[in-house]
Chain A
Amino acid sequence: MAIELRNVSLRVGAETHIYETDLSLQPGQFNILLGTTLSGKTSLMRLMAGLEKPTSGELWMNGEEVTGIPVQKRSVAMVYQAFINYPSFSVYDNIASPLKVAGLPKDQIDAKVHEFADMLQLTPMLHRLPDELSGGQQQRTALARALVKGADLVLLDEPLANLDYKLREELRDELPKMFADSGATVVYATSEPLEALMLGGYTATLNEGRVVQFGETSRIYRQPDSLEAARVFSDPPINTAAIEKRGNSAYLSDAVSWTVPAQLASLPDGRYSIGLRPHHLLPHGSGVEVAGEVQIAEISGSESIMRVNIEGNNWVSEAHGIHSCEFGERMSFFFDSSRCLYFDSNDKLLETQV
């Protein structure tokens, strides 16, 4: 299903939850809404579902305006962060419930329930109550109920947030597969950049009630069109700094400089900003060398994260493997200047790649 928001806004009392927004989702694909708490992810989903009426603007589905049409009359399924199932229904009846409401014959319901239970590995639990399931199985049941309806639009509001780390990893892997053949347009809200990358598809970065950027997930990650978009799509936070451009050199300080790309050399001299992803700042290697006091080293299994103050900027280095260091230790870090993103004085990305 093609969904389009035309100049949609949402105000509740004096507060603006969503500023005027234009957004066309990719039909039949995973569309991710990425942003922190209160960035507007849930509001946007409620608008798409028809649970909320926009203050201004129009909502179009498959070329038809649906702005005033209530949720019951739209082909929509929604799964929330909290596991919502009918507590007194078995897993079987939970999955069957939307089909019963739709008045399907018994044998068809039975076939569909088994098909989806099988896909979501719920077959052995069909006769249990939600209470007797693990969190992951409860959320699988909710997902099965959303899928079995065959809704054109499936809205998933941080569905994995309440699950254990490893279960999240597994379900992230499975989710795109589950929807791959359904033809449904999926909207998936998350506050985790890595989750967006794992799910792939398309991503809208959100900040304070505005869509900052929308496009193919890996492109949005590699080419954020503003500093704001880069910040939303980076965890740990992207390293930023003001630089002084003189001729074809960029100066981070009097002591640290490098040659800027050709497209930038022709721009007027003056102040610009750079963004450098934490995994491009490493405690070894070659390129531009900077040094600073390490404030903290964090270890996340396969990677180490070091916080370091470099030329007055709080930067982060994320390196593969396990690196330990003493609090306050002075260390050198290196980066390849071609990895820098450059932004103008309005924090808009300057094109440096061909």
Chain B
Amino acid sequence: MTVSRPTWLVAAAVIIFAGLAAIGVYRPAHAAAPPSVIKIGTLYASSGTFAVASQGQYQGLQYWASLVNKDGGVYVKAFNKKIPVKIIAYDDQSSTTTATTLYNQLITQDKVDVLIADFGSVLTSVAIPLAAEHHMLLIDPTGSGANFFTKKTDYLADVSIPSSAVWPVPLAQFILAQKLKRVAILYDSNDFDASQAETLKSVLGQGGVTPVYYNGVPTTESNYAVLLHTIAATHPDAVLEFGYAPNDIAFLRDLTSSGLHFNMTFTIFPGQLISLITKNVGAKALAYTYTYPTPPLVRYPHVTTGMNTAEFVQAFTAANKVAPNFLNAAGYNNGLIVGEMLARAPQFTQLDFHSALMAMSGSTTTLLGAFKINENGAQLGELLPVAQIVPEGTANKFVVVYPQDKATGKAVYPAPQQ
């Protein structure tokens, strides 16, 4: 049998086209006709270590979707029309194993149009290689581990929290400005906390400060009594603990019950989940400790898209009968960024989505601050200042102490003994 040249060429073209489609370089799925809904796939944790934070983030995204759908849907430039959004969400129970399976299901079975990771670096870490393998852009709300962003990629964008490579920079600068020389750093051994600790150590090192204590503990650590005693033996001026909310609770409770006192104590999650932490450790235990205050504690009045921070607080409170925390704001911000991305992407492809995000970078401000990502997908904007929690009557208030242009007061150092 002979094959004519045109037939051979057609066959070759079909094979090449099929090959490109198989590896996902060419994704024509919605190029021809607009879909009836934009499918947004995400995970949340109803239980486990990350449940509280994850559910807050998910609730924020749901709130954004409800607002958008009330308005007829999200504007999609590729189809020049508004299309309703549908969130497809599964419960990973804070397990990376379960999350891996469910991310895979969202991509391959549900064939979602937009993929959003669950809360935090631990549950995001398993989504990154999967998304890249399937040529899906991963919207990464709060996975900030510095090692996620080490090379150029079209398939990852950290949208709602600064990368851990830049996040602790204001904190390090504050410590250097305070001329503190003896710094103890205790961190959880996970992508989020370890990379924050590493960045902090590096910036302090550039300022001539070498930590007197620098150790990691398991993320499941819940007993800090002996660790605190070991740290106290190094006579630090400042003790910085990088952990998740359960770690911060155990750390602060053990610090209170130990009778030890440090001139400066820093933890992360009081700035994000102040009511949870206060409920568990008490307002007195938080007095004069330091944290990163996050929106809505820090407010951005001038935004280019969506509600500003104050408007969001008012609207979210009215809709949900409870004031939002940072994770709610982060979840809402994910939706805003996705909405703006769809409104700008000329074609309905993952690569166009990524290009739209890059175009937004540097020119977009939301309720979380300036949106600025680099070619590795790291968030370099939305920087968080340093605040001290100061007693006010029987409660506490946040006083931003660094940087100077955002400061609302001066740091009380050394912290008075309670």
Pairing of A with B: no
